[in-house]
Amino acid sequence: MEAPMDCYRVRPGTRIDLQDWDPDDKSAFDGSKSKGLKAVRKLSRRLETLQELLYAEGKHSLLIVLQAMDTGGKDGVIRRVFDGVNPQGVKVASFKVPTPEDLAHDYLWRIHQHTPGKGEIVIFNRSQYEDVLVVRVHNLAPPAVWEKRFEHISAFERLLADEGTTILKFYLHISADEQKARLQARLDEPNKRWKFNPGDLKDRAFWGDYMHAYEDVLSKTSMPWAPWYIVPANRKWYRDLVIGTTIIETLEKLDMHYPQPAESLDEIVIE
């Protein structure tokens, strides 16, 4: 039986056309926005418990990859879905323009050092996929270079999975109209202006090219050991619901248990 959010999972070998995926979809939840927000808060509390268990057991690790167009909601997911979790066991790694040191190494070097250790959850805010997205769209490397990277990245993720890391990858799917509205809100609201980057408008001009690049990413790199989910993200609450539910269902399948104490504690008396 499929989990409720499996309808958003990209099956390996499937050719994706993002025009077939509705960013306004909310078919996996039969309820209003207010009910959805309550469900998200409940999910956050459950995630807090599971994250503590993951950390205490120290046997598993979880890598979450978030990719989206500008304003897609990566920061919002991190704030709301992970609200209340213990920061000792959850880390966020953001990958912006590579530094000179990054460029002196292979393109996965800066990625690998941020992958999770046992008991940890790591969230990638952007990721290794920038090297087949931005690099491709803005012609920072020729096709002969970036086309090989799909295979490199899948092999890298297979290595992580074979070593015990569970991987979930979420593409936050918004429409061009929704991005326009969110960019305008950043201009119109004084407390959001700090978020506005004129460079976002440059990338917006390449919307079609980015969609084609994302279609290749989703089609070529969704694997059983590292699946992609196309998350309808025009509704922020629904986006958070899909991601939170998927993470919790995945963690619950790990069948985690608190470790037993090294010796019996029943006879200990604290004076």
Looking at residue 141, which CATH number applies to its domain?
Answer: 3.40.50.300
Does residue 265 sit within a domain?
Answer: no
Does residue 268 sit within a domain?
Answer: no
Query: Average of pLDDT values for 50-74?
Result: 97
pLDDT at position 4 is 79
Where does residue 242 rank: exposed (0-12), middle (13-18), buried (19+ CB within 10 A)? Answer: buried
For residues 10 and 229, is the Cβ–Cβ distance under 8 A? yes
How many domains in the chain?
1
For a pLDDT cut of 90, what percent of the chain falls above it? 86
Query: Average of pLDDT values for 49-56?
Result: 96
Does residue 266 sit within a domain?
Answer: no
Domain that holds residue 98: 4-252
Task: Point out the least confidently predicted range of 56-60, 184-188, 227-231, 249-253.
Answer: 184-188
Does residue 52 sit within a domain?
Answer: yes
Give pLDDT tens digits for 155-171: 999 999 999 999 999 99
Does residue 264 sit within a domain?
Answer: no
pLDDT at position 262 is 72
Does residue 267 sit within a domain?
Answer: no
Position 94 pLDDT exceeds 50: yes
Position 1 pLDDT exceeds 60: no
Does residue 25 sit within a domain?
Answer: yes
For a pLDDT cut of 70, what percent of the chain falls above it? 99
Does residue 261 sit within a domain?
Answer: no
Position 178 pLDDT exceeds 50: yes
Position 196 pLDDT exceeds 90: no
Query: Among residues 226, 235, 213, 240, which one has the least CA distance to residue 147?
Result: 213
